[in-house]
Structure 1
Amino acid sequence: MQRTLNYRGLDIYIELRPTSKDMFEPWLRIDGATRDAGTAAFGTLIKVRGGPYSRRWAYFVAEIAGQTSIDLILCPEG
């Protein structure tokens, strides 16, 4: 299952991988025109910690993790 969200001009690609009945591990990738050479998150699928989750929670946790990552990439000083 896949979903792509736009946040602050960058895309958060979320992929859910099933682990058991109705449980999923969320993975995310950040894509966009702005690329910081020192940021490994761009274009790389990253497993979100703490799973597995129900489908609804997996999408929610991945979305928040992606938004937080983008906030840190774009505004590292606060």
Structure 2
Amino acid sequence: MQRTVKYRGLEIYIELVPTSEDMFDAWFRIEGPTHAPGVAAAGQRIKVHGGPFSSRWAYFVAEIAGQASIDVILGPGE
């Protein structure tokens, strides 16, 4: 199960991997037109720890983790 969310000009690709009935591990990766220097994980899948989660919760925590990562990469927004 996959979903894409746009945030601050970049895209967060979210992937859920089933672990048991109705439970999932959440993974995300960030892609965009530019890559900041020194960011080693751009374009690579990153696992959200603390799971497994229900599908709704997994999408939520992966989106928030992706947004937080983008905020670190780009700096504070306005």
TM range (shorter): over 0.9
> What secondary structure does 1:19 align onto?
strand
Query: What do residues 7-36 of structure 1 show as CA deviations (whole Å, max 9, x unaligned)?
Result: 000000000000000000000000001201
Residue equivalent to 2:51: 51
Percent identity, please.
70
TM-score of the superposed pair, with normalisation by structure 1: 0.93
Shift of 1:48: 0.6
Alignment of 1:1-78 (within 5 A): 1-75=1-75
1:18 & 1:68 partners in 2: Cα distance?
A: 24
- Runs (4+) of structure 1 exceeding 4 A deviation are none
Structure 2 unaligned runs (5+)?
none
Structure 1 unaligned runs (5+)?
none
1:70 & 1:40 partners in 2: Cα distance?
A: 13
TM-score of the superposed pair, with normalisation by structure 2: 0.93
